Structure 1
């Protein structure tokens, strides 16, 4: 790797139209897993001006039968859940209001041809829900072992959302984007060279004293969440650089599930397999294998085996065990990458990294997904059942497996 360079990552807020769609899709996953921990869900959401549309394939006890008949009251629960997500985000605007948007539900039964490849039977383990490649990554740039540019991009928007919800920043509306550019020296973050924040706002905050108030507020948020040694005369701020930002969210731009996959993962600092996470139950390896790959990479770095680690897994639909496991420590490893690969393969609790083994070890058959759908799936706090792939409980196992 180059030792000195500029790198940039972006984030988007919970009110961004694509993130509204992601949160709705994951709220449906949570709703169905509450009813049936083995539910199959592939829920896509479209949001636009005063309209929300659901589509996709589902299956589960107490949800929908094979003929497409809904269980009693479930259709009403779905709509109530969707409106509740939009209300929590804070949309009560003329162009997008939680209580007034038109709602359409086009979810239907899962394909029998997909089900036959995924379901376990007397003669086979549960297969992967699709083919594909999944990546996990960790580095020592932040306490949560995430790329610093993405870490601070997320933190800026989370702080602004907290202030909006608490009433501390009543001039903010839900839609927002951030972008952080850092100059790296000797591979470490040295200075922030550019901070970009575009936030939807109440009328009047695009000029004069109110605009100055908004700009000062954003700079204060940046100072709160970023280390002071990264900020200084070198830092250039671009706050609402286009001017007015009153029309936003799904009224300003349509939103679709799965369009912010780089924001969801590593901000461009690591490869991405291409599959989205939100709206999918954990039998889909797009989601569960990406989670376990992050879990493995984070524990490798936390164990002191590397400063940076990328892990790739590959699967074939209907086949339970991964086709390949690849480890790359980018020249920072204290042992060989092949040694780490072999060590991971010797850890029995990982269940050979099959879909069911991953779900069992990480406890993924639970309604834990709506919280993942804004501000990143990784670098979050593992508390209770939430974000179990962020735990550091594999460190000792990795060390023991390498020593064996």
Structure 2
């Protein structure tokens, strides 16, 4: 982005079911050449796109046979009530291996620590993941102009100081414990009982950025 204007496509992710006789290489080539490339916008830089086509491997079994279970609702009241943007995935009904839930908690944790470190007065963190790709394909920060260091540097600090893989998030926030029942009422954020509300990384962040952590 240049400001709020999109200028370049960085990564495209497609996961699509296919017939048993089709190889990974065939489906990848077909999707890129026949489906993606004909639709790429001419007004954006598309010269260096990273493609993740069925990154977990073969996708023969799909639909209810391959992925069944419950998912939650009330995603806005569970989070920021419309004040902050939401990735669209519900939390309830999902275990912490699902980044819809665990990465949203980590984004909250990161943003709180950035503010507590005195690096911004306001902070929104976006983490984007592709199935089968361990690290986030994108880390984006929006401080609404309140940052004491630029947003690009904040993105670097996030990657350097926080575990952002699904396993790293689960271990750092200790999400394997039976704590999720308490989120069913009262929302997931703004409650000090949950580990993603801690600001225990503020001092390390401030030191890494070369600033003094804010008190409190």
Structure-1 residue corresponding to 2:201: 394
> Match for 1:312 among 104, 107, 126?
126
Gaps of 5+ in 1: 1-113, 119-129, 131-255
> Is the 8 Å Cα contact of residues 73 and 92 (structure 2) preserved in structure 1?
no
Greater share of residues in strand: 1
Structure-1 residue corresponding to 2:171: 360
> Is the 8 Å Cα contact of residues 346 and 401 (structure 1) preserved in structure 2?
no
TM superposition shift of 1:310: 0.6
> Match for 2:78 among 261, 264, 276?
264
> Match for 1:286 among 86, 89, 100?
100
Structure-1 residue corresponding to 2:181: 370
> Match for 2:155 among 329, 332, 341?
341
The 1:401–1:380 alpha-carbon spacing in structure 2 relative to 1, beyond 3 Å, is: same
Q: Distance in 1 between matches of 2:160 and 2:94?
A: 29
| TM-score normalised by structure 1 residue count | 0.35
TM superposition shift of 1:377: 0.3
TM superposition shift of 1:342: 1.0
Q: How does 1:190-269 map to 2 (within 5 A)?
A: 258-269=72-83
Counterpart secondary structure, 1:308: coil
TM superposition shift of 1:117: 4.1
1:328 and 2:142 aligned:
yes
TM superposition shift of 1:327: 0.6
Q: How does 1:19-38 map to 2 (within 5 A)?
A: none
Q: Distance in 1 between matches of 2:166 and 2:73?
A: 24
Q: Distance in 1 between matches of 2:121 and 2:134?
A: 31
TM superposition shift of 1:340: 1.0
Number of equivalences: 147
Q: Distance in 1 between matches of 2:209 and 2:118?
A: 12
TM superposition shift of 1:321: 0.6
1:379 and 2:190 aligned:
yes
Question: Alignment RMSD, CA only?
Answer: 2.3
TM superposition shift of 1:403: 2.2
Counterpart secondary structure, 2:123: strand
CA deviations over 1:37-71 (Å, ceiling 9, x no partner) = xxxxxxxxxxxxxxxxxxxxxxxxxxxxxxxxxxx
Q: Distance in 2 between matches of 1:307 and 1:376?
A: 23
Which structure has the greater CA radius of gyration? 1
Higher relative contact order (CA 8 A, sep 6+): 1
Q: Distance in 1 between matches of 2:137 and 2:82?
A: 25
Q: How does 1:24-103 map to 2 (within 5 A)?
A: none
> Is the 8 Å Cα contact of residues 118 and 206 (structure 2) preserved in structure 1?
no
TM superposition shift of 1:402: 1.2
